[in-house]
Amino acid sequence: MNKVHIYLLALTLAVIGLGIFLYKILVFHFPLLPEAKARVWQVETKLTFVAKGEAVRVRLFLPWNSESYKVFNESFISRGYGLNTPTNGVNRRAVWNLREARGKQTIYYRAAIRRLETKPAITEPPPVEKPNFTGADLIAAEWLVDFIHKKSIDNCSMAARLIQRLNQQPVTNDNLTLLLNKHPGEAGKMALAVKILALAGVPARQVNGIHLSEHSQKAELVHWLEVYDGKQWRSHDPVTGLPRLAENYLAWWRGPAPLAQVTGGSKLEVEIDTSSNPEAALQAAIAEIGYTKPLLLKFSLFNLPLHTQSVYRVLLLVPVGVFVLVLLRNVVGVAMFGTFMPVLIALAFRETQLLWGIVLFSLLVGLGLAIRFYLEHLKLLLVPRLAVVLIAVIILMALMSIFAHQLGIERGLSVALFPMVIMTMTIERMSIVWEERGAAAALKQGMGSLAAAALAYVVMHDGYVKHLFFVFPELLLVLCAATLLLGRYSGFRLLELWRFRDFQKEAA
């Protein structure tokens, strides 16, 4: 009866998991392959501030559709605030209003960004307004205009020469020192470039945005220059000044105004998170074909904050690694220490990389084992002995990091990512096996654990596996069903067939 029950339970789990899997593929067109990672990004902007108990107005510049990017799936998340999104032809803003608020406030803006392959639009620049330089500032600005004018032939070359001059270090010219001191920072430098070019009659504007990385990250604001070359606006690199910008720079807003402002509050902080993944591309495809907030997507991992999604990208791989261990232990017959130790070591390998991880693991366990054998002569009780080994492991990790840093081996610093408690228990169990069954048995189990961790790392680090189990977490039900079936397996293990091969020959 128990056997039938397990089979029915495994079948039920497998049917549910595969049913949801096929439904998401056939109905929602979830991608099976991790493709187009650099084409779609999720951007999340978090605003926090302290309200003073009066009327509150929060303004935030918003990214806008351009020839390079399309913004879709926007959402504005706040508690009780009214919202409107005015535009002025150049910039777009979100304005939140609330009659009264007090205490810490949090507002979110989320959007998906898709890269486009279109030709830039032809637009006429507004009339150039002369900047309000006066006195010594005017003399210094005119000197700089004359300097770049003599070494350029058109608007773009003037802008390139100007940016190069503003970035030149050290600053040895008094005129330049005067101007830069009044326009500090990278944003101030671009604002100064706009005013200098305006003094020369060249249409230019400051652009503020972020770099859309291929990895999840906290984005920093970057500032660059757009110059009208007579036909179109050309973006200039803020470092080299050349009229071509590095790929994946998203123009967020234009002008010297700050990204966000608050009235009726203080201590405003703005945090931007970006993430590039095929799940975002999936959401874009669903939005474009007319799906509006499907129930399956609404209650899915994709609606979690980006930093929480990053956590689950790792956690959802742990069952995969555990399943690999089940196969190795119950089917192959590999001897290893502990049930989950190799999986945790495999997670540490994600940062150290496989080769360096094996070297650091072997070195740490070897040194810890030597200390454990020394403690055996002191006749300590179990808990104090484990505590001493734990302290020794932490000291060894710190020393290894220090020596690795001094030797310029940056991978060696990742030894701190090894789970110290698991390492302590591994050293303790290995020493016990060494004493009870000999060095050969201890080394065999240690090598088995290391091999299992390496194989689990290879499987968990595979891009297809990571994509599959984050996009289709219901596959964990199928994995659970397979594990239940393996739990009833009582036949020979593969290594046992090799071990008893002589008996098989005699029986034949």
CB atoms within 10 A of CB 281: 21
Dihedral of CA 380/385/391/392: which sign?
positive
CA 318, CA 338: separation in Å to the nearest integer? 15
pLDDT at 19: 92
27 in helix, strand or coil?
coil
Are 58 and 95 in contact by the 8 Å Cβ rule? The answer is yes
pLDDT at 318: 87
CA 417, CA 401: separation in Å to the nearest integer? 11
In the chain, the domains with their CATH numbers are 40-120+258-282 (2.60.40.2250), 135-210+219-248 (no CATH), 313-471 (no CATH)
CA 100, CA 59: separation in Å to the nearest integer? 16
C-alpha gyration radius of the chain: 31
pLDDT at 288: 46
Find the DSSP H helices in 88-236: 135-150, 155-167, 174-181, 185-199
81 in helix, strand or coil?
coil
Q: 338: burial class by Cβ within 10 Å (0-12, 13-18, 19+)?
A: middle
Dihedral of CA 352/353/357/359: which sign?
negative
Q: φ, ψ for residue 323 (rounded to 5)?
A: -65, -40
Give me the tens of pLDDT residue by residue for the chain, a chain 508 residues long.
Answer: 577 888 899 899 999 999 988 887 776 667 777 764 446 788 999 999 999 989 999 999 999 887 778 887 789 999 889 999 998 878 999 999 999 999 999 999 999 887 765 565 566 777 888 888 888 988 988 898 888 888 888 888 888 898 888 888 787 788 888 888 888 888 889 999 999 999 888 889 999 999 887 666 788 899 999 998 878 888 898 888 888 887 778 889 999 999 999 999 999 999 999 887 655 555 554 554 444 455 666 677 777 787 788 888 888 888 998 898 888 888 877 877 767 778 878 877 776 778 877 888 888 888 888 888 888 888 888 888 888 888 888 888 888 888 777 777 766 555 555 677 777 878 888 888 888 888 888 888 888 888 888 888 888 888 888 888 988 889 999 999 999 888 887 766 666 666 656 555 555 5
Name the residue among 426, 435, 444, 448 with its Cα closest to residue 373.
Answer: 435
pLDDT at 289: 40
Name the residue among 193, 189, 129 with its Cα closest to residue 161.
Answer: 193
Rounded to an integer, what is the distance from CA 408 to the centroid of its chain? 26
Give the global pTM: 0.53
Are 70 and 117 in contact by the 8 Å Cβ rule? The answer is no
Q: φ, ψ for residue 423 (rounded to 5)?
A: -60, -40
Question: Per the omega criterion (within 30 degrees of 0), is the bond before 86 cis?
Answer: no
The residue whose two tokens read 């029915």 is: 8
pLDDT at 287: 55
CA 194, CA 224: separation in Å to the nearest integer? 10
CA 416, CA 394: separation in Å to the nearest integer? 8
354 in helix, strand or coil?
helix
